[in-house]
Amino acid sequence: MLELLKVKNVALIEEVELEFCGGLNILTGETGAGKSILIDSLSFVLGGRVGREFVRAGAEFAEVEAFFRNDDEEILIYRRHDNQGRSVCKVNGKTITISMLREISAQLLDVHGQHEHQSLLDSNRHLELLDRFCQEELHEPKARLLGNIVDYKKLQQYISELEKVDGNEEQLEFYRFQFKEIEEAKLSTDEEAELSHRKLLLVNSERISRAAHGLVELNIAGILANAAEFAATIAELDPSQNQDAENLADLHAQIEDLSLNFARYAENLEHDPAEIDEIEARLDILYRLKQKYKKNIPEILEYYIELQKKFEVIESNREEKVRLAAEKRELEKEIGRNCLIMSKIRKEAAERLSAQIAEILRDLGMSDARFAIEVSRRKEFGTNGFDRAQFLICANKGEEIAPLDRIASGGEMSRIMLALKTALANYDNIPTFIFDEIDAGISGRTAQQVAQKLAVLSISHQILCITHLPQIAAMGDANFMIEKSAQGERSLTHVHRLTEDGVTTEIARLIGGAQITNTTRLAAQEMRRQAQNIKEISRISGR
């Protein structure tokens, strides 16, 4: 809750420090005394925008501090704005951005008045408010839905990744063409070298044939045979030459084998011009492929294997995608079932909540009001299902029911908010509410009913309420007086907490105006006693 508010150099306020209690805090004062300045100060420290007149005339800057305590958590928000338009905001001494401040503030305090109805005018929050009323009923299907959505997003991401691997159809068709072209070429790693060698032999076959026949005709083997016989004779006569004679005999045997080989080689030589043409045609195919793919033959074969693997992966992926598509359809059905369950719970709760709010509005002087919560379906589902909720109101007889922001006045809006907050008192997690002149356009019995509803709401929430009605002021757990006085050439706004006698005096002023008589003071004392009795009964009964 908001425990402390410090305001310095804001409009007509020079310096004010207020300590609030945990129940119903009432702020009263004459029209123009500066009650709206306090609301503007609170809005500012919570991240609201301000105009040029926000900084007090003659001051260099305005600053506001707000101290909140919720359970064991303490939050000190500080914001400063100078007359050059520069702003600084800190939370617990750490500088943060305005957007961060607004996120934090949204969980601490809600302002409702003639010009600020964030919760009610923001249709995005209507579903959140309705869900609070649903309580435990929504927990299980919502938890299942959140799990489904996590799985669904993972599935979508996986499918997306598989689609990236597949590539587009045009690219795949190009890969298929390349694969077929390389496959039909029937390439092998050593083919080009073998063909080049074969072509070289065929082109030079006549020269090779002449050389081979010439080699045979030299009859080197015959010469070496004669030489070997001479050497053998020498070895017989001189054994010391045995080794050389044996070597010469071995050499003769080798040369004889080589001569026979060359003779057979010369006999088998062919010269086939048609084969040369075939080889050249084949080499031309290999050359064009190398030029086209800018790779050599082994590299082209590696690329072929890569394409083969790619197609295998794509085929596998497509089978996987078929499986995943089926899984996605089943998951969408499960999501749809949970969304329908949540929608049914919400529609039933919407009827109950609408009836409660309509009944409270009648107590608050809007006897002809009709309130409804329309639960409709979005095109797409999200973490809250596929529902959207919108609050509708018909404030007067003969009018059509329509969204709040189209027909509700400021005073009606405040009472609608009070009715909503009363109905949701046990479910709303925002600890502090501010009602700015919630009494606009009401009096008598309705004013008393509004006062009682505020007292009930203050049992579970801290309330700050600016009012002109004595019935509401009498319900205060802490009452503050806002006054404006002239000091020299300038006017200043002061705020102070009233004593019990001061509360009675202020209630008397609200009853009878500036002239306070014994009659109005007695009436004020009686109103205060009745209010305290009503509060005590409300706190015992909780209603």
Q: pLDDT tens for residues 158-174?
A: 888 777 766 666 777 88
- C-alpha 535/C-alpha 476 separation (Å) is 9
- C-alpha 333/C-alpha 151 separation (Å) is 13
Q: Which amino acid is at 194?
A: E
Q: What is the pTM of this model?
A: 0.63
| 4-18, 183-197, 430-444: range with highest mean pLDDT | 4-18
* pLDDT for the residue 116: 45
Residue 200, in any domain of the structure: yes
- C-alpha 326/C-alpha 10 separation (Å) is 63
Residue 212, in any domain of the structure: yes
Give per-residue pLDDT as tens, 38-59.
888 998 999 888 887 899 988 9
- C-alpha 127/C-alpha 401 separation (Å) is 19
pLDDT reading at 88 higher than 70: yes
User: Residue 118 — very low, low, confident or very high, per pLDDT cuts 50/70/90?
Assistant: low
* pLDDT for the residue 540: 66
Residue 29, in any domain of the structure: no
Residue 504, in any domain of the structure: no
pLDDT reading at 445 higher than 60: yes
Of 164 and 142, the structure prediction assigns the larger pLDDT to 142
Residue 189, in any domain of the structure: yes
Rg (CA), the chain: 49
41: exposed, middle or buried (Cβ count in 10 Å: 0-12, 13-18, 19+): buried
* Residue/partner pairs of 159-168 with CB below 8 Å, 24 or more apart: 159/321, 159/324, 159/325, 159/328, 162/317, 162/320, 162/321, 162/324, 163/321, 165/313, 165/314, 165/317, 166/314, 166/317, 166/318
Secondary structure of residue 54 in the 3-state scheme: helix
- C-alpha 351/C-alpha 482 separation (Å) is 42
Letter string b/e over residues 76-109, b meaning 16 or more CB atoms within 10 A of that residue's CB: ebbbbbebeeebebebeeeebeeeebeebbeebb
Residue 55, in any domain of the structure: no
Q: Which of 163-172, 338-347, 516-525, 529-538 is least confident?
A: 163-172
How many structural domains comprise the chain? 1
Q: Mean pLDDT, the chain, as a whole number? A: 85
- C-alpha 259/C-alpha 262 separation (Å) is 5
CA 66 to each of CA 112, 129, 437, 468: distance values in angstroms, whole numbers, following the listed order: 18, 26, 22, 25
Give per-residue pLDDT as tens, 474-513.
999 999 999 888 877 788 888 999 999 999 999 999 998 7
268: exposed, middle or buried (Cβ count in 10 Å: 0-12, 13-18, 19+): exposed
Residue 244, in any domain of the structure: yes
Q: Mean pLDDT throughout 255-260?
A: 84
Tell which residue, 191, 166, 168, has the closest CA to residue 314: 166
Secondary structure of residue 528 in the 3-state scheme: helix
Query: Percent of the chain, pLDDT > 70?
Result: 94
Would you say 253 and 176 are in contact if contact means Cβ atoms under 8 Å apart?
Answer: no
CB atoms within 10 A of CB 11: 23
Residue 99, in any domain of the structure: no
Which range of residues forms the domain containing residue 278? 169-315
Secondary structure of residue 461 in the 3-state scheme: coil
